[in-house]
Chains A and B, each alone.
Chain A
Amino acid sequence: QQQVKQSPQSLIVQKGGISIINCAYENTAFDYFPWYQQFPGKGPALLIAIRPDVSEKKEGRFTISFNKSAKQFSLHIMDSQPGDSATYFCAAMRGDSGGYQKVTFGTGTKLQVIP
């Protein structure tokens, strides 16, 4: 019930194209869904996040689409650039009155944007 399934494992996109990464979860108690970007040799960095009461959130070229009934959410990177080449992780979290429960991460998607 704590799993978050992420696909695809790797993705190659042409510069200027749209990159789409999908995640699915099982536990309906999750109430916060962040996406992280990780470059080689660095720790993950929070990219964008959404709560289940919103169906879409956009920040610059990055958009999260959220489908509560299907228990799925996805990251769209518009106008993908070579600098976007990194590993992307989705995650799901559940909060409580004292803080947050342990985070469950997806398995990661290695994105390569080719010129």
Chain B
Amino acid sequence: KAGVTQTPRYLIKTRGQQVTLSCSPISGHRSVSWYQQTPGQGLQFLFEYFSETQRNKGNFPGRFSGRQFSNSRSEMNVSTLELGDSALYLCASTEGWKGRYYEQYFGPGTRLTVT
């Protein structure tokens, strides 16, 4: 099976712009989670989607949003970018059903730089 894929891998944006990141989970996985990774804050949970519904949300401002499509692919959007949004954004997928939902598989991430 192909792993989790994320596009683009690298992105440079200017303050105030918005950005959309994409994640394709492992085939058959219905749950997609997003994380922000920075040297200062480490890995922080953004949100999780299951069957097109946001099931869990971390402590991030409303500028961070996401959605999931019927094929389980997910997008994450950040509006009005700030310098502090520069980070590695990671997507992880799981099968999402009870019994096997704990095993997360991460993608390679999208490196976002805000200038």
Stretch from A19-27, A38-46, A63-71 at the B interface: A38-46
Stretch at the interface among A10-18, A54-62, A77-85, A101-109: A101-109
0/1 string, B29-67, CB within 8 A of A gives 1? 001010000000011110010100001111000000000
Task: Assess whether A49 is interfacial by the CB under 8 Å rule.
Answer: yes
Chain B, interface residues (CB within 8 Å), range:
20 to 34
Interface residues in B83-115 (C-beta closer than 8 Å to A): 90, 92, 94, 96, 98, 101-109
Q: In the complex, what residues of B have CB within 8 A of residue A103's CB?
A: 33, 45, 104
Complex CA distance for A102 and B50, rounded to whole angstroms: 13
Decide yes or no whether B4 CB sits under 8 A from chain A: yes
Interface presence of A115 (CB below 8 A): no
CB distance from A34 to the nearest CB of B (A): 7
- Identify B98's interface contact among A49, A97, A105, A107, CB under 8 A: A97
Contact yes or no, B106 A99, CB < 8 A: no
Chain A residue with Cβ nearest B9 = A41
Contacts of A106 in B (CB 8 A): 42
Residue of A with least CB distance to B99: A95
Structural contact, A108 and B106, CB atoms closer than 8 A: no
Q: How far is the CB of B37 from chain A (nearest CB, A)?
A: 9
- Interface residue ranges, A against B (CB under 8 Å): 32, 34, 36, 41-46, 49, 89, 93, 95, 97-108
- Which residues of chain B have a CB within 8 Å of any CB of chain A? 4, 31, 33, 42-45, 48, 50, 55-58, 90, 92, 94, 96, 98, 101-109
